[in-house]
Amino acid sequence: MANKYAKWLGGALGWTFGGPIGALVGFSLGYLWDNASLQVVRPGDQPGNQTHAGDFAVSLLVLAAAMMKADGKVLKSELTYVKQFLVTQFGEAKSLELLRVLKDLLEKDIPLASVCHQIDAFMSHPQRLQLMHFLLGIANADGELHKTEWETAMHIARLLRISQKDLESLEAMYDMDTDRHYRILEIAKGATQQEIKTAYRKMAKKYHPDRLGDVGDDVLKAAREKFNQVQEAYDNLSK
pLDDT digits over 48-64, tens only? Answer: 457 777 788 889 899 99
Q: 193-196: long-range contacts at Cβ-Cβ below 8 A with a sequence spacing of 24 or more? A: 193/238, 196/234, 196/237, 196/238
* Cα distance between residue 32 and residue 30, in whole Å: 5
3-state secondary structure of 96: helix
Q: Percent of the chain, pLDDT > 90?
A: 18
Better-predicted residue by pLDDT, 59 or 223:
59
Q: What local confidence, expressed as pLDDT, does residue 117 receive? A: 95
Q: What local confidence, expressed as pLDDT, does residue 161 receive? A: 96
pLDDT exceeds 70 at position 45: no
pLDDT exceeds 50 at position 33: no
* Cα distance between residue 156 and residue 134, in whole Å: 13
Q: What local confidence, expressed as pLDDT, does residue 27 receive? A: 59
For the chain, the average pLDDT equals 80
Residue 8 burial (CB count, 10 A): 16
* Cα distance between residue 99 and residue 57, in whole Å: 11
Q: Domain spans of the chain? A: 2-39+49-176
Q: What local confidence, expressed as pLDDT, does residue 157 receive? A: 95
Better-predicted residue by pLDDT, 102 or 26:
102
Q: 157-161: long-range contacts at Cβ-Cβ below 8 A with a sequence spacing of 24 or more? A: 157/132, 159/112, 159/113, 159/116, 159/117, 159/120, 160/116, 160/119, 160/120, 160/128, 160/131, 160/132, 161/120, 161/125, 161/128
Q: Percent of the chain, pLDDT > 70?
A: 84
pLDDT digits (tens, 9 = 90+) for 149-192: 899 999 999 999 999 999 999 898 888 777 888 888 988 888 88
